[in-house]
Structure 1
Amino acid sequence: MDPPPFPKLDVNHLMQKLTSDEKIMLTAGRDAWHTVPIKQFDIPSIRTSDGPNGVRGTRFFESVPSSCFPCGTGLGASWDADLLHRVGKALAAESKVKGVHVLLAPTVNIPRSPVGGRTFEPYSEDPFLSGMLARGLIKGLQGEGIGATMKHLVANDQEFERYSISSEVPMRALREIHLRPFELAIRCDNPPWAVMTGYNRVNGLHCSEDTFLLSQVLRREWNFKGLIMSDWGGAYSSTAATRAGLDLEMPGPTVFRGVVSKAALGGKKISQQNIDAGARNLLELVNKVQESGVPEDASEESIDTPEVRALMREAASSAVVLLKNQAPPHQRYAVLPLLSHPDTQSIAIIGPNAKIALLGGGGSASLRATYSVTPFDAISAAAKGAGITDVKYARGANGYKFVPLFGPELVASNGKPGVDLNFFNENPFAVLKSKPVYHVVTTSTFMFFSGDLPSTAVNLICWVEVTGKYTPDVQGDHEFGLASGGRAYLYIDGQMIIDNWTNPVPGESFANHGSTELRATRTLNRGQQYNLSVRYFYEPPALYPVGSQKRGGIRFGVAASKPQQEFIDEAVTVAQNVDKVILLLGLDGDYECEGYDRPDMKLPDAQNSLASAVLEANPKTIVVVQSGAPVEMPWADQASGILQAFYGGNEGGNGIADILFGKVNPSGRLPLTFPKRFEDNPTYLNFGKGHNGKVHYGEGLFVGYRYYESTKLAPLFPFGFGKSYSYFSLLASLSSPKIGPNETIYVDITVKHGSWFRPGREVVQVYVQDVESSLQRPIKELKGFVKTPVLQPGESREFSVPLDRVSLGFFDDHEDVNQWVAEKGRFKVYVVGSTETETKELDLELTESFSWI
């Protein structure tokens, strides 16, 4: 039984009683996820947990299952702050059953490049949309007593050399673009209780040591009262970080906040005031999360209720954007929705991602889901419900970066999907009578032994034997893959087929702390059972690098293997013999992952060839792209229907099916610009390896749509783009044609559902243009938006969008100004609805110039 919730603390009294050593203890973690308790003063340990789209709990390896919501860009595609609020409440409920007090979310870094490894994790390329959606999630979490942690402050936008790279950002771009979502969420009635610093440097200084960012901007300008913590392994000093205002070093045990801080205090490199500030902010956070009722060191459980499933399904369909929907050649009607076509008697589901549930991107956002729904299963069920009984399938291509993990064909000794793991503290492959010190049956062949295992009996230097029985469901060649954080062999029926023991080569697995993947192909018989085993040894390096993971990890997988053209030919044959095709393409959490960036925007391997061939074979093909970030679509002109599905979490498959069959009228809008080519994006020459440890933000203010509109370079699909199965009309006016300093006016908007059938939702976007600015500014910038409730055919609703000084100002970085400025003169206000809706243009005048900080 869990202990009772802890009582509130008398912070002022404690600050008088605690010694300097005890206060220093409070400013560092106890372990990977907990802060340090001080029992004699009844100060509890509070628990943190990843992440942005779910609550993993305290373990990567065999974690307690969690509800997985869509990835950040998928939630961003909803343009729905109310949905984010409800997702926040659901994450708070999951936090409570996992004993979590502080969730490490939301992520609001600006994805300046489409190929950043974590581009899938934040909400949008636009700081206003990102900040306002973050407000919704924060309100949902903290309204239930669970602390939110905005991350990663700031310009933490690439994975290459992420611990050391210096983001060289002009001050205007830093203020107007990269700091703006943090500012919007902090300077409001419900600011986050914590902020996490980035790994990187900004203009030469590590974020965790930057007095300008932490003390001047956060504390003095924005009046932030919460806790400032480091990213995990993102504290690099005691003195500089403490003086800058970093309150908490994570994870524990401490590297810099123990004897190092004591020596620095004794040498007066840091002051008692510095120490007190961090300790006080930690104690104040303890009091805030006390309201959650979550006890200290609670057990971990899952939530899986009809209500949570319904919310995840709603979020998954909201993450789908209808990009194209037109009539195929020689047809009268648009290809979607499928239920509107009584002639559809047979469908084919084709693609390498059809039978895989793509929950989200890789890294700290990944988790073990309570359940998952693949597109194939969801579409097949929806088709059956619609009376379509002829459903065919073809894989079409292999498109993996790492060989896919084993599925239910691999079983453990208990007969359930998974494998047996035996851990040893001596070499069992040399000492035959060695006894395992720990045994567990896993559910996945991705095993990241991060932090503490469920047993403390396993030494840091350890051996592991993995065993299972594999029964292929297809005949022929199978490709096996093995990557590891230590040394490993893979055996089939006692025959070693992969040697990653003799000379493992460092690679991208396990957040760049593992090896490259080695592969081998074997011919297997369908239905025959094979004994599979892996032998593994881990010994940590002599000098443990920052961010390294205890005991490494193992991942191994299998896939049917044959020449890509054979896969494509099979898919073409299937496509030619059905009425319609749903073609599922995209990336996965191996391509989009914390730890490394993508080299380009291309789809994997033969997916583009597959798309062109299937679209030629059957023009009534709907292409569904699942990815967290933009991909190139060289076949887009061929396609009659295109959906961008992002990563949809547990209910991703049902979210796609609901849109395809018209159960849900699509209302998603792109939170990112999709360029035609990788070379078209504004960061093409200023991203990645940079120059001598620096990456220059050469695009300045012109991130995303700001760049494409200013250069008149047409993207494949613009920011804010998205279609509906319905038509909406807009009326818009200003509550006043003039606005003065510190005033707020309103854009009054009437939205009417103009179709004669099918209820639907509209997204209205409000942009502002400074016509007479003395400094260069983007052509227009998003300053407001509305997501309507479901409108019935013919129904009208009225809305008001506020415009204030934040909507009009820019940051003047001249040394004599160095503050926000709004200049008197003419402005244009643009009100934009669905793709087919006419843009409304309104005139606004600012009567007087003014400034603020």
Structure 2
Amino acid sequence: AYIKGVQESDVAACAKHYAVNSQETDRLDVDETVSERALRELYLPAFEAAVRDGGVLSVMGAYNLVNGEQCCESKKLLDDILRDEFGFDGFVVSDWSAVKRTKESAEVGLDVEMSVTPNFDEYYFAQPLKKAIEAGEVKEADVDKKVVRVLSVMDALHMLGEARKTRKPGHYATLDHAVKALDIARESIVLLKNDGNLLPLDERKMTRLLVIGANADRIHSNGGGSAVIKALHEVSPLLGLNGALGGNVEIEYALGYDARQVNQDESWQEESLENSKGSDTKDEERAKALRDEAVAKARAYAAAGDPVLFIGGLDHEHDLEGRDRTTMALPYGQDELLDALLNADSDTILAFVAGSPIEMPWADKAKAIVWNWYAGCESGTALAEVLLGRVNPSGHLPETFPIALSDEPAHAIGTFGLEGHVDYKEDIYVGYRYFDTKQVPVRFPFGHGLSYTSFEYSDLTVRRVDDEIRVSLHVKNTGDCAGKTVVQVYLGLEGTGEDRPAKELKGFEKVELQAGESRQVGIDMPAAKALRYWSNGSNAYALAPAATVFVGESVEDIRLSGRVA
């Protein structure tokens, strides 16, 4: 849907980074050993969907090596799979500085070289390519193919000849865009925990609100490397709360912990080609003073029966291009602050702005936890609406939140070790496939997301009609307010003769229901996709003869089950 939306405006979407670009450390030259099964089942399907279903016009080749072969030199990846199997007919662009050699990249389906330095004539596809053609080392016909592919995309975008007169101008940062950004942010926020229905806050009864945490008063669109968004505005959580509550509620703010506002300058791109170093060094005396001040205020608010809200998490000193996090612990001493806050007021509400999971050693003490992501220019507005109950949260986790970093399969199995090389020993047992199959306890499972209402699932039917698997059930909103549930369909493939994950997500549907409303929900899945797996025995795709069907609100919260054969 994203690809189709971008390309409606005569702009080529670019699917990246092809392929297995899974880390930032040594990203320019790390060699990743991955099984054919994992490659086919985990790391390539998103690109296949982008090409076959999205019609993407460009693909970006990754920095890394896969099984000893540079992605931007790989005939297997660029020609055999991308073009011949997937049917891709657009152009492939390299990641910036991902081309290492002229001849090797010229002879495969890489069309455009990009980099970050101003010596353009020295790029591998510039003067060195011209010389290689003149010397007979590279066929001119191979270059002609690249030119045709680039021109074909330009033609599709109405960039050539008379068609330029019909090219859509597009729009930038309009009010309509802000409205859409707000809608997306509202849909994405995840309510992780809400013991005792602490949320939503009752704004009619509130007269004071204490907000603690640096991320309450920070924006994030202007950092993160390539993740930077050229937004004309961004609403911080504190600004969103002030705007939503107006003058009826007095909002007091305490920093709580020290974190600088990230402001990215134009030098980031060249610097990102090196392994960058992070720093969490802090003034211990100042950190203690900020913590003590915040805890004292929280204690006073709790004694008066007024709510306390903590807004913390990560920032683009930690979630960014060019550097991996070395720990899942919260930076800036937030864990110590959270322990103290929850001791001072057990009803402290916790909200986190971050782009990747964190360890939560204090989670059992917390009653309410909200996960906000980096939700764009209207992020603070959406968060305020969810906290105040004006919007019922309906986001669900697209990844597992483990209890500790050591529980992650890549760390538990021992993927790392050799410098510049990563061995994907976990195979297809990545994320929920590992945690669920191996029954490793997690903090919050894949697909998890709570609501201010509740839903009942019933009357499951599973039918196979021709090449379609049709799953149907009734969903009822059993609470007292409108809300949305995400019906998730998992399959456990059977009869393959090979080890398989216990469950794999194959379909989902977000459904909005009024209080007391019931509706039949149908999720249809092509059997050729739902039952497909890569057989180690035949080294080819095969279809499982049967499968168990699991339906629920997360990979752990399974409400109904059936079978397909």
**What residue identity is the alignment partner of 2:478?**
G
Give the Cα–Cα distance (whole angstroms) in 1 for the partners of residues 498 and 102 of structure 2.
Answer: 41
Q: CA deviation at 1:745?
A: 2.5
Give the Cα–Cα distance (whole angstroms) in 2 for the partners of residues 148 and 586 of structure 1.
Answer: 31
Do residues 165 (structure 1) and 30 (structure 2) align?
yes
Give the Cα–Cα distance (whole angstroms) in 2 for the partners of residues 568 and 303 of structure 1.
Answer: 42
Q: Which residue of 2 aligns with 1:145?
A: 10
> Which of 793, 811, 819 is the equivalent residue of 2:534?
811
> Which of 182, 191, 207 is the equivalent residue of 1:322?
191
**What residue identity is the alignment partner of 1:725?**
Y
Q: CA deviation at 1:760?
A: 1.3
> Which of 428, 432, 443 is the equivalent residue of 1:701?
428
Give the Cα–Cα distance (whole angstroms) in 2 for the partners of residues 447 and 753 of structure 1.
Answer: 49
> Which of 486, 504, 522 is the equivalent residue of 1:781?
504
List aligned pairs for 1:180-259, cutoff 5 A.
180-188=45-53, 190-251=54-115, 253-254=120-121, 255-259=123-127
- Is contact 2:198-2:347 (8 Å) kept? yes
Do residues 281 (structure 1) and 149 (structure 2) align?
yes
**What residue identity is the alignment partner of 2:354?**
S
Q: CA deviation at 1:797?
A: 3.2
Q: CA deviation at 1:166?
A: 0.5
- Is contact 2:192-2:448 (8 Å) kept? yes
C-alpha spacing 1:781/1:688, structure 2 compared with 1 (3 Å):
closer
C-alpha spacing 1:315/1:561, structure 2 compared with 1 (3 Å):
farther
List aligned pairs for 1:671-690, cutoff 5 A.
671-684=398-411, 690=417
RMSD of the TM alignment (CA)? 2.8
C-alpha spacing 1:404/1:347, structure 2 compared with 1 (3 Å):
same
Q: CA deviation at 1:295?
A: 6.4
C-alpha spacing 1:763/1:361, structure 2 compared with 1 (3 Å):
farther
Give the Cα–Cα distance (whole angstroms) in 2 for the partners of residues 809 and 516 of structure 1.
Answer: 42
Q: Which residue of 1 aligns with 2:396?
A: 669
- Is contact 2:225-2:268 (8 Å) kept? no
Q: CA deviation at 1:686?
A: 6.8
Q: Which residue of 2 aligns with 1:843?
A: 563
Give the Cα–Cα distance (whole angstroms) in 2 for the partners of residues 196 and 212 of structure 1.
Answer: 15
Do residues 831 (structure 1) and 555 (structure 2) align?
no
- Is contact 2:471-2:522 (8 Å) kept? yes
Which digits, 9 at most, give the CA deviation of each residue in 1:168-187, with x for residues without a partner?
11110000001111112222
Q: CA deviation at 1:301?
A: 10
C-alpha spacing 1:645/1:687, structure 2 compared with 1 (3 Å):
farther
- Is contact 1:392-1:574 (8 Å) kept? no
Do residues 625 (structure 1) and 327 (structure 2) align?
no
Give the Cα–Cα distance (whole angstroms) in 1 for the partners of residues 477 and 556 of structure 2.
Answer: 13
Give the Cα–Cα distance (whole angstroms) in 2 for the partners of residues 516 and 753 of structure 1.
Answer: 47
Which digits, 9 at most, give the CA deviation of each residue in 1:247-270, with x for residues without a partner?
111147251122322332244433
Give the Cα–Cα distance (whole angstroms) in 2 for the partners of residues 564 and 239 of structure 1.
Answer: 55
Q: CA deviation at 1:377?
A: 1.5
**What residue identity is the alignment partner of 2:287?**
Q
C-alpha spacing 1:777/1:513, structure 2 compared with 1 (3 Å):
closer
Give the Cα–Cα distance (whole angstroms) in 2 for the partners of residues 717 and 515 of structure 1.
Answer: 30
Which digits, 9 at most, give the CA deviation of each residue in 1:737-764, with x for residues without a partner?
x466xx11211233222223x2211111
Q: CA deviation at 1:721?
A: 0.2
C-alpha spacing 1:727/1:834, structure 2 compared with 1 (3 Å):
farther
Q: Which residue of 2 aligns with 1:573?
A: 296
Give the Cα–Cα distance (whole angstroms) in 1 for the partners of residues 558 and 104 of structure 2.
Answer: 54
Q: Which residue of 1 aligns with 2:475?
A: 751
Q: CA deviation at 1:447?
A: 2.7
- Is contact 1:320-1:656 (8 Å) kept? yes
Q: CA deviation at 1:837?
A: 7.0
- Is contact 1:321-1:722 (8 Å) kept? yes
Q: CA deviation at 1:304?
A: 3.8
How many residues in Structure 1 have an aligned counterpart in Structure 2? Answer: 553
C-alpha spacing 1:785/1:810, structure 2 compared with 1 (3 Å):
same
Give the Cα–Cα distance (whole angstroms) in 1 for the partners of residues 379 and 533 of structure 2.
Answer: 39
Give the Cα–Cα distance (whole angstroms) in 2 for the partners of residues 570 and 152 of structure 1.
Answer: 45
- Is contact 2:191-2:370 (8 Å) kept? yes
**What residue identity is the alignment partner of 1:840?**
L
List aligned pairs for 1:333-344, cutoff 5 A.
334-339=197-202, 343-344=205-206
Instruction: Give the structure with the higher percent helix.
Output: 2
SS at match of 1:577: helix
Q: Which residue of 2 aligns with 1:798?
A: 520
SS at match of 2:474: strand
SS at match of 2:310: strand
Which digits, 9 at most, give the CA deviation of each residue in 1:383-402, with x for residues without a partner?
337x3x2322111111x3xx
Give the Cα–Cα distance (whole angstroms) in 2 for the partners of residues 622 and 827 of structure 1.
Answer: 42
Question: What TM-score do the two structures reach when normalised by structure 2?
Answer: 0.91
Q: Which residue of 2 aligns with 1:447?
A: 265
Which digits, 9 at most, give the CA deviation of each residue in 1:54-109, with x for residues without a partner?
xxxxxxxxxxxxxxxxxxxxxxxxxxxxxxxxxxxxxxxxxxxxxxxxxxxxxxxx
List aligned pairs for 1:727-746, cutoff 5 A.
727-734=454-461, 736=463, 738=464, 743-746=467-470
Q: Which has the larger radius of gyration?
A: 1
Do residues 582 (structure 1) and 447 (structure 2) align?
no
Q: CA deviation at 1:614?
A: 0.8
Which digits, 9 at most, give the CA deviation of each residue in 1:332-365, with x for residues without a partner?
xx110002x7543321000121111233761111
SS at match of 2:295: helix
Between 833-842 and 272-281, report the one with greater CA deviation.
Answer: 833-842
Give the Cα–Cα distance (whole angstroms) in 2 for the partners of residues 697 and 837 of structure 1.
Answer: 29
Give the Cα–Cα distance (whole angstroms) in 1 for the partners of residues 501 and 395 of structure 2.
Answer: 25
Q: CA deviation at 1:381?
A: 2.8
Q: CA deviation at 1:325?
A: 0.4
Q: Which residue of 2 aligns with 1:377?
A: 239
Give the Cα–Cα distance (whole angstroms) in 2 for the partners of residues 687 and 224 of structure 1.
Answer: 36
Q: CA deviation at 1:625?
A: 1.2
- Is contact 2:311-2:352 (8 Å) kept? yes
- Is contact 1:199-1:206 (8 Å) kept? yes
Q: CA deviation at 1:379?
A: 1.5
Which digits, 9 at most, give the CA deviation of each residue in 1:392-448, with x for residues without a partner?
2111111x3xx435xxxxxxxxxxxxxxxxxxxxxxxxxxxxxxxxxxxxxxx6432
Which digits, 9 at most, give the CA deviation of each residue in 1:508-548, with x for residues without a partner?
x66648898899xxxxxxxxxxxxxxxxxxxxxxxxxxxxx
**What residue identity is the alignment partner of 2:220?**
L
Q: Which residue of 2 aligns with 1:358?
A: 220
Give the Cα–Cα distance (whole angstroms) in 2 for the partners of residues 749 and 698 of structure 1.
Answer: 38
Q: CA deviation at 1:560?
A: 9.9
SS at match of 1:378: helix
- Is contact 1:356-1:374 (8 Å) kept? yes
Give the Cα–Cα distance (whole angstroms) in 1 for the partners of residues 405 and 451 of structure 2.
Answer: 27
Which digits, 9 at most, give the CA deviation of each residue in 1:187-213, with x for residues without a partner?
22x420011010000000110000000
SS at match of 2:513: coil
SS at match of 1:625: strand
Do residues 821 (structure 1) and 531 (structure 2) align?
no
- Is contact 2:280-2:332 (8 Å) kept? no
Do residues 348 (structure 1) and 216 (structure 2) align?
no
**What residue identity is the alignment partner of 1:142?**
Q
List aligned pairs for 1:282-301, cutoff 5 A.
282-290=150-158
Q: Which residue of 2 aligns with 1:592?
A: 319
Q: Which residue of 1 aligns with 2:254?
A: 394
Give the Cα–Cα distance (whole angstroms) in 1 for the partners of residues 474 and 485 of structure 2.
Answer: 11
- Is contact 2:278-2:318 (8 Å) kept? no
> Which of 177, 182, 200 is the equivalent residue of 1:313?
182
